[in-house]
Structure 1
Amino acid sequence: MNILNRTPSKSLPPQRLPANIHALSPWAEEFPPGPVRVRAFAEIMADLSRPVPPRLIRTRQQDGATIPYIPWHTINHLLDHYAPGWEGKISEIRFSNDRIYVVYALTIHASDCSVTRMATGTELLKGTDRQGKPREIAFGDPSSNAESQAFRRAAARFGLGLHLYEKGHGG
């Protein structure tokens, strides 16, 4: 079966996670213990589509607006919690005169299928100051920023943090 990037998975062995993994989670109070087995894709999607607790959401200023976002490392933890065994990779990197473009592929393995969704991220490479001299314009390096954006967007394609894009949440 290959419908919407869904391919049947071969029988996957049960996930073996440390017994104390839930105790290590910084958001153990908001989320129930994570699964210790591979679950059906619909179950994983239902969990990932739940709104993320406000305390895990950060904001940044952009063009005078306050933009909410979920940091990449929080998304990483949430995927580990709800979709153990997920995989991600940069599938493409391109450059223009002033930008880097990254395509990120995120795969979630479930008991009934494996699903891959892709998204892009971009970042300006350099800007100029008032005197026209080149300067760095972003916190961190452009390639990491573009990868982070692409990773967050790929996770949103599975529902994670998608509520932040709805009207009233700054999206």
Structure 2
Amino acid sequence: MAASLGLRLKAATSTLRSGAAATLLPRTWSCRGLCSEPENDVPTSGIGRPLAKILKELNKKVPDSAIKTRVEDGFSMKYIPWHTVNRIMNLHAPEWSGEVRSVTYSPDGNTVTVAYRVTLYGTDAEIYRESTGTTSVNDKGYGDPVQKAEAMAFRRACARLGLGLHLYHEDAL
């Protein structure tokens, strides 16, 4: 059951984490508008922490200043831009990884769906979540349809890990 949820024991990932790819992971971060501290490089809080602590940080409410609103089909929707989600992930889970799993066009060619996986690496385990994003190929907004679907899938996969999840149910609170 645990494997079906994307949870694996740390022993199974020691090769990945000790390999050359691990040396490419960032060891410092800059706030750049996400916090009130000076823009000096400071060590991240996420390196070398158990998965439960990383998830606890990701599940905190995102500041209102990071939330944007757009109107789609007459409905107002709150969301966190993908680049802000990326910065938050780098801050709280600096050893995360993400990958596009598939890009699929509908049979009629009117929509494109991207499946995306986000993996978190803790000192004791790793966990992943996947989600999809679908957009119209005729959408005239900024960016191409695949970029939009990927950004949507990325944000949703991060939400499945807790990041910004409060936006999905704040009306019920």
State TM-score, norm by structure 2.
0.81
* Alignment CA distance shift 1:125-1:161 (3 Å): same
Corresponding residue number in structure 1 for 2:92: 82
Radius of gyration: which is bigger?
Answer: 1
Tell me how far apart the structure 2 counterparts of residues 78 and 167 of structure 1 sit (CA, whole Å). Answer: 20
Deviation digits for residues 53-103 of structure 1 (CA, Å, limit 9, x no counterpart): 000000100111210000000000000000011100100111112110110
Corresponding residue number in structure 1 for 2:70: 60
Corresponding residue number in structure 2 for 1:8: 9
Tell me how far apart the structure 2 counterparts of residues 37 and 99 of structure 1 sit (CA, whole Å). Answer: 39
* Alignment CA distance shift 1:16-1:55 (3 Å): closer
Conserved? CA contact 2:47–2:93, under 8 Å? no
Tell me how far apart the structure 2 counterparts of residues 65 and 16 of structure 1 sit (CA, whole Å). Answer: 39
Match of 2:83, SS?
helix
Deviation of the 1:2 alpha carbon: 2.9
1:141 maps to a residue whose letter is D
Corresponding residue number in structure 2 for 1:166: 169
Match of 1:166, SS?
helix
Tell me how far apart the structure 2 counterparts of residues 120 and 51 of structure 1 sit (CA, whole Å). Answer: 23
Corresponding residue number in structure 1 for 2:105: 95
Corresponding residue number in structure 2 for 1:155: 158
Identity %: 35
Corresponding residue number in structure 2 for 1:131: none
2:67 maps to a residue whose letter is I
Where has structure 1 moved over 4 Å in runs of 4 or more? 11-16
Relative to its length, the structure with more helix (as a share) is 2
- Equivalent residues, number: 156
- Give matches, 1:128-139, under 5 Å: 136-139=139-142
Q: Which runs of 5+ in 2 are unaligned?
A: 38-42
Match of 2:167, SS?
helix
Q: Which runs of 5+ in 1 are unaligned?
A: 127-135
Correspondence 1:115 to 2:127: yes
Deviation of the 1:16 alpha carbon: 6.2
Match of 1:37, SS?
coil
